[in-house]
Amino acid sequence: MCTFGEIVEPNSRTIWEDWDENNPENNATLIQWQLSVNIPERIGTLFILEGKFLADCVKVQPKDHLKLINTSTASNLHLYQIISRNEYVCTIKDYNLLQSSEIIDLIKPFIRNCDDVLTIQTKSLTEYQTASLETKPWVIRKLTTSTQSKNLKDLNFSKLEQPNILSGVAAGAISLREHMNMSATALVYYIEHIEEYQTDEIHILLKKFNIVKDCSAKFNGILNSNLYI
């Protein structure tokens, strides 16, 4: 008899895998907005910023520039509106990668209703794989959808090479826009010390799109400590 398509439960407990355990720590937290959300019919550009110092830099902006619209505490997600124009900034940090799809579902109306999407993601430089012998304290790489952006053409960065990959919320947003035949651009910022705001390149990029006015956020990392001096 063919058993294709049948549900067969193991006859021994030893056959069960670790992920079959009902571990309370693995139970997903409900991802939702704290407040009711009014979805604009049309948005200029949606900026999605992933990483601690990106989120912290946006957090300290003056209220007459960025207005906090909503938050999702379960995923460390904050949604801001740029006061001077119809554009939005979404920041996220220290979230569970397994919940990326749920987070994308949460912000999907904003992704769908915008003209362009620009994601900026920070990663450790040790994760960047390249055959080049050139060494830098930072590397910025770009990935775009098949439909090219009309507003983000001047992002003259090299293409993200294989086997490097895009992950998390940034990957979900770019994939969704590709599926909808809409434009999106992802920037991956590899930095040597990810806990430090050590270079000006990312700050220049944020100011270029008027996401921030200035960044006075301070980061208490090992490099700023005199513990070992």
Residue with tokens 């055959």: 131
What is the side-by-side strand order in the sheet with 77-82?
66-72, 77-82, 87-92, 43-50, 114-124, 185-191, 138-144
* Per-residue pLDDT tens digits for 12-35: 555 555 545 555 455 557 899 999
Closest CA to 205 of 82, 54, 66: 54
* Per-residue pLDDT tens digits for 146-202: 998 877 777 889 999 999 999 999 999 999 999 999 999 999 998 876 555 555 778
Q: Please tell us whether the domain made up of 38-217 is placed in CATH 1.10.1380.10.
A: no
Q: What is the pLDDT of residue 188?
A: 94
- Exposed, middle or buried by CB within 10 Å (0-12, 13-18, 19+), for 202? buried
221 has a pLDDT exceeding 50: no
Query: With contact defined as beta carbons under 8 Å apart, do 141 and 185 qualify?
Result: no
| pTM for the full predicted model | 0.81
How far is the C-alpha of 154 from the C-alpha of 116, rounded, in Å? Answer: 14
Least confident of 5-9, 65-69, 189-193, 205-209: 5-9
Closest CA to 112 of 33, 172, 50, 155: 172
| Domain ranges within the chain, ordered by starting residue | 38-217
